[in-house]
A and B are shown apart, each in its own frame.
Chain A
Amino acid sequence: AQSVTQLDSHVSVSEGTPVLLRCNYSSSYSPSLFWYVQHPNKGLQLLLKYTSAATLVKGINGFEAEFKKSETSFHLTKPSAHMSDAAEYFCVVSVSGGYNKLIFGAGTRLAVHP
Protein backbone atom coordinates (compact mmCIF):
# COMPACT_ATOMS: atom_id res chain seq x y z
CA ALA A 1 0.00 0.00 0.00
CA GLN A 2 1.09 3.53 -0.69
CA SER A 3 1.57 5.96 2.16
CA VAL A 4 3.29 9.16 3.14
CA THR A 5 4.75 9.99 6.53
CA GLN A 6 5.74 13.48 7.51
CA LEU A 7 8.08 13.00 10.41
CA ASP A 8 7.42 16.28 12.21
CA SER A 9 4.01 17.77 12.89
CA HIS A 10 5.57 21.12 13.92
CA VAL A 11 8.88 22.73 13.04
CA SER A 12 10.05 26.06 14.44
CA VAL A 13 12.98 28.04 13.04
CA SER A 14 14.39 31.53 13.31
CA GLU A 15 14.26 33.87 10.35
CA GLY A 16 17.38 33.48 8.22
CA THR A 17 18.14 29.92 9.36
CA PRO A 18 17.74 26.76 7.25
CA VAL A 19 14.49 24.86 6.97
CA LEU A 20 14.20 21.06 6.82
CA LEU A 21 10.81 19.36 6.55
CA ARG A 22 11.05 15.59 6.42
CA CYS A 23 8.95 13.19 4.35
CA ASN A 24 9.16 9.44 3.84
CA TYR A 25 6.99 7.53 1.42
CA SER A 26 6.01 3.98 0.69
CA SER A 27 5.05 3.00 -2.83
CA SER A 28 4.88 -0.19 -4.82
CA TYR A 29 5.18 1.75 -8.04
CA SER A 30 7.56 4.38 -9.28
CA PRO A 31 6.06 7.41 -7.57
CA SER A 32 5.58 11.01 -8.40
CA LEU A 33 6.11 13.19 -5.36
CA PHE A 34 4.96 16.70 -4.58
CA TRP A 35 5.24 19.33 -1.89
CA TYR A 36 2.34 21.72 -1.39
CA VAL A 37 2.08 24.74 0.90
CA GLN A 38 -1.09 25.98 2.57
CA HIS A 39 -1.48 29.33 4.28
CA PRO A 40 -4.29 29.68 6.84
CA ASN A 41 -7.76 29.27 5.37
CA LYS A 42 -6.36 29.04 1.86
CA GLY A 43 -6.08 26.38 -0.79
CA LEU A 44 -2.93 24.40 -1.51
CA GLN A 45 -0.21 25.76 -3.76
CA LEU A 46 2.30 23.52 -5.50
CA LEU A 47 5.89 24.17 -4.37
CA LEU A 48 7.64 21.53 -6.45
CA LYS A 49 7.30 18.06 -7.92
CA TYR A 50 9.50 15.05 -8.64
CA THR A 51 8.67 13.04 -11.74
CA SER A 52 11.63 10.66 -12.21
CA ALA A 53 13.90 13.18 -13.87
CA ALA A 54 16.53 14.95 -11.75
CA THR A 55 16.61 13.78 -8.14
CA LEU A 56 17.20 17.32 -6.85
CA VAL A 57 14.13 19.37 -7.58
CA LYS A 58 13.96 23.13 -7.32
CA GLY A 59 10.68 24.83 -6.60
CA ILE A 60 9.26 28.25 -5.98
CA ASN A 61 10.29 30.66 -3.22
CA GLY A 62 13.75 29.11 -2.84
CA PHE A 63 12.58 25.67 -1.76
CA GLU A 64 14.08 22.45 -3.05
CA ALA A 65 13.73 18.74 -2.34
CA GLU A 66 15.88 15.69 -2.97
CA PHE A 67 14.47 12.34 -3.95
CA LYS A 68 16.41 9.49 -2.33
CA LYS A 69 15.11 6.14 -3.47
CA SER A 70 17.36 4.13 -1.14
CA GLU A 71 15.95 6.01 1.85
CA THR A 72 12.42 6.41 0.41
CA SER A 73 12.63 10.06 1.37
CA PHE A 74 11.72 13.37 -0.21
CA HIS A 75 12.77 16.03 2.30
CA LEU A 76 12.03 19.71 1.67
CA THR A 77 14.70 22.30 2.39
CA LYS A 78 15.33 26.01 2.15
CA PRO A 79 18.66 27.67 2.99
CA SER A 80 17.21 30.71 4.73
CA ALA A 81 13.72 31.00 6.21
CA HIS A 82 11.57 34.05 5.71
CA MET A 83 8.67 35.13 7.86
CA SER A 84 6.33 34.59 4.92
CA ASP A 85 7.28 30.88 4.86
CA ALA A 86 5.19 30.27 7.98
CA ALA A 87 2.47 27.89 6.78
CA GLU A 88 1.51 24.23 6.65
CA TYR A 89 3.36 21.97 4.23
CA PHE A 90 2.09 18.73 2.75
CA CYS A 91 4.10 15.95 1.17
CA VAL A 92 2.07 14.09 -1.44
CA VAL A 93 2.63 10.94 -3.45
CA SER A 94 0.85 10.23 -6.71
CA VAL A 95 0.42 6.63 -7.68
CA SER A 96 -0.70 5.80 -11.18
CA GLY A 97 -1.46 2.16 -10.64
CA GLY A 98 -4.91 2.45 -12.11
CA TYR A 99 -5.73 6.10 -11.66
CA ASN A 100 -3.95 9.21 -10.57
CA LYS A 101 -4.61 9.10 -6.85
CA LEU A 102 -2.97 11.63 -4.56
CA ILE A 103 -2.05 10.47 -1.07
CA PHE A 104 -1.37 13.23 1.44
CA GLY A 105 0.83 13.30 4.48
CA ALA A 106 -0.63 14.71 7.69
CA GLY A 107 1.20 17.99 7.23
CA THR A 108 3.99 19.91 8.96
CA ARG A 109 3.29 23.30 10.43
CA LEU A 110 6.28 25.61 10.03
CA ALA A 111 6.68 28.53 12.42
CA VAL A 112 9.26 31.23 11.69
CA HIS A 113 10.40 33.48 14.52
CA PRO A 114 12.09 36.88 14.19
Chain B
Amino acid sequence: DGGITQSPKYLFRKEGQNVTLSCEQNLNHDAMYWYRQDPGQGLRLIYYSQIVNDFQKGDIAEGYSVSREKKESFPLTVTSAQKNPTAFYLCASSIPFRAMNTEAFFGQGTRLTVV
Protein backbone atom coordinates (compact mmCIF):
# COMPACT_ATOMS: atom_id res chain seq x y z
CA ASP B 1 0.00 0.00 0.00
CA GLY B 2 1.22 3.52 -0.75
CA GLY B 3 1.84 5.81 2.14
CA ILE B 4 4.20 7.66 4.42
CA THR B 5 6.16 5.85 7.10
CA GLN B 6 7.62 7.64 10.06
CA SER B 7 9.93 5.99 12.54
CA PRO B 8 10.29 5.60 15.37
CA LYS B 9 6.83 6.16 16.82
CA TYR B 10 8.30 7.23 20.17
CA LEU B 11 11.74 8.72 20.74
CA PHE B 12 13.48 9.82 23.89
CA ARG B 13 16.39 12.22 23.82
CA LYS B 14 18.78 13.34 26.46
CA GLU B 15 19.53 17.02 26.64
CA GLY B 16 22.44 17.97 24.40
CA GLN B 17 21.92 15.08 21.97
CA ASN B 18 21.02 15.25 18.31
CA VAL B 19 18.35 12.84 17.13
CA THR B 20 17.10 12.01 13.65
CA LEU B 21 13.51 11.26 12.74
CA SER B 22 12.91 9.15 9.67
CA CYS B 23 10.29 9.81 6.98
CA GLU B 24 9.85 7.61 3.90
CA GLN B 25 7.14 7.82 1.24
CA ASN B 26 6.29 5.54 -1.67
CA LEU B 27 3.66 7.82 -3.20
CA ASN B 28 6.08 9.23 -5.79
CA HIS B 29 5.41 12.72 -4.44
CA ASP B 30 7.80 15.53 -5.23
CA ALA B 31 7.10 17.69 -2.19
CA MET B 32 7.73 16.70 1.40
CA TYR B 33 7.20 18.59 4.65
CA TRP B 34 7.97 18.44 8.35
CA TYR B 35 5.54 19.87 10.88
CA ARG B 36 5.68 20.25 14.62
CA GLN B 37 2.52 19.90 16.72
CA ASP B 38 2.18 21.17 20.29
CA PRO B 39 -0.93 20.80 22.47
CA GLY B 40 -3.61 23.36 21.67
CA GLN B 41 -1.82 24.60 18.59
CA GLY B 42 -2.14 23.86 14.94
CA LEU B 43 0.71 22.40 12.95
CA ARG B 44 3.72 24.60 12.35
CA LEU B 45 5.99 24.12 9.35
CA ILE B 46 9.62 23.34 10.10
CA TYR B 47 11.10 22.59 6.66
CA TYR B 48 9.83 21.72 3.22
CA SER B 49 11.39 20.28 0.10
CA GLN B 50 10.15 20.72 -3.45
CA ILE B 51 12.55 18.34 -5.12
CA VAL B 52 15.57 16.17 -4.44
CA ASN B 53 18.61 18.07 -3.15
CA ASP B 54 16.53 21.16 -2.40
CA PHE B 55 14.84 22.27 0.80
CA GLN B 56 13.67 25.49 2.38
CA LYS B 57 13.12 26.73 5.92
CA GLY B 58 9.59 26.95 7.19
CA ASP B 59 8.26 29.07 10.02
CA ILE B 60 10.19 27.43 12.89
CA ALA B 61 13.40 26.01 11.39
CA GLU B 62 15.80 27.07 14.15
CA GLY B 63 17.38 24.07 15.85
CA TYR B 64 16.42 21.66 13.07
CA SER B 65 18.12 20.36 9.94
CA VAL B 66 17.01 18.20 7.01
CA SER B 67 18.35 16.50 3.91
CA ARG B 68 16.71 15.32 0.70
CA GLU B 69 19.13 13.00 -1.04
CA LYS B 70 16.39 10.72 -2.38
CA LYS B 71 12.88 11.46 -3.54
CA GLU B 72 11.46 8.94 -1.09
CA SER B 73 13.25 10.14 2.03
CA PHE B 74 13.23 13.36 4.05
CA PRO B 75 14.86 12.85 7.46
CA LEU B 76 14.67 15.51 10.16
CA THR B 77 17.45 16.06 12.69
CA VAL B 78 16.57 17.76 15.95
CA THR B 79 19.78 19.33 17.15
CA SER B 80 20.89 20.33 20.61
CA ALA B 81 20.26 23.93 19.57
CA GLN B 82 16.50 23.31 19.67
CA LYS B 83 15.59 24.56 23.14
CA ASN B 84 12.21 22.92 23.49
CA PRO B 85 12.12 19.82 21.30
CA THR B 86 9.46 17.84 23.14
CA ALA B 87 6.57 17.66 20.64
CA PHE B 88 4.75 15.51 18.12
CA TYR B 89 6.41 15.60 14.70
CA LEU B 90 4.50 14.93 11.51
CA CYS B 91 5.90 14.31 8.05
CA ALA B 92 3.78 14.92 4.97
CA SER B 93 4.04 14.79 1.21
CA SER B 94 2.12 16.11 -1.77
CA ILE B 95 2.14 16.02 -5.56
CA PRO B 96 3.95 18.72 -7.58
CA PHE B 97 4.83 21.52 -5.23
CA ARG B 98 3.35 24.39 -7.22
CA ALA B 99 0.18 22.56 -8.19
CA MET B 100 -2.93 24.18 -6.82
CA ASN B 101 -5.56 22.46 -4.75
CA THR B 102 -3.29 19.69 -3.62
CA GLU B 103 -3.81 18.16 -0.23
CA ALA B 104 -1.01 16.74 1.84
CA PHE B 105 -0.76 13.14 2.99
CA PHE B 106 0.53 12.56 6.49
CA GLY B 107 2.54 9.93 8.31
CA GLN B 108 1.54 8.61 11.73
CA GLY B 109 3.93 10.88 13.57
CA THR B 110 6.86 10.61 15.97
CA ARG B 111 6.51 11.70 19.57
CA LEU B 112 9.80 13.10 20.82
CA THR B 113 10.41 13.54 24.52
CA VAL B 114 13.45 15.08 26.15
CA VAL B 115 14.48 13.27 29.35
Q: A: which residues have CB within 8 A of B?
A: 4, 9, 32, 34, 36, 41-46, 49, 51-52, 90, 94, 96, 99-102, 104-107
Contacts and interface: CB of A to CB of B under 8 A. Distances in A.
A96 B109 contact: no
B93 to A, nearest CB: 11
Nearest to A48: B103
Given A32-B102, A34-B103, A100-B98, 18 more contacts: A9-B40, A36-B106, A41-B88, A41-B109, A43-B90, A44-B43, A44-B106, A94-B100, A94-B102, A96-B101, A100-B102, A101-B45, A102-B43, A102-B45, A102-B104, A104-B42, A104-B44, A105-B42
A41 B44 CA distance: 17
Contacts of A90: 42-43
B103 A49 contact: yes
In this complex, the member of A41, A44, A49, A51 whose beta carbon has the largest number of chain B beta carbons within 10 angstroms is: A44
A90 B41 CA distance: 10
Given A90-B43, A101-B45, A107-B42, A32 B90 contact: no
A82 B94 CA distance: 30
Interface in B41-68: 41-45, 50
A99 B48 CA distance: 11
A4 B99 CA distance: 21
Interface residues of B, number: 29
A51 B99 CA distance: 12
A49 B6 CA distance: 25
Contacts of B42: 4, 90, 104-107
A42 B88 CA distance: 10
27 contacts: A9-B40, A32-B100, A41-B88, A41-B109, A43-B4, A43-B90, A43-B106, A43-B108, A43-B109, A44-B90, A44-B92, A44-B106, A46-B105, A51-B100, A90-B43, A94-B103, A99-B98, A100-B100, A101-B45, A102-B43, A104-B43, A104-B44, A105-B42, A106-B40, A106-B41, A107-B40, A107-B41
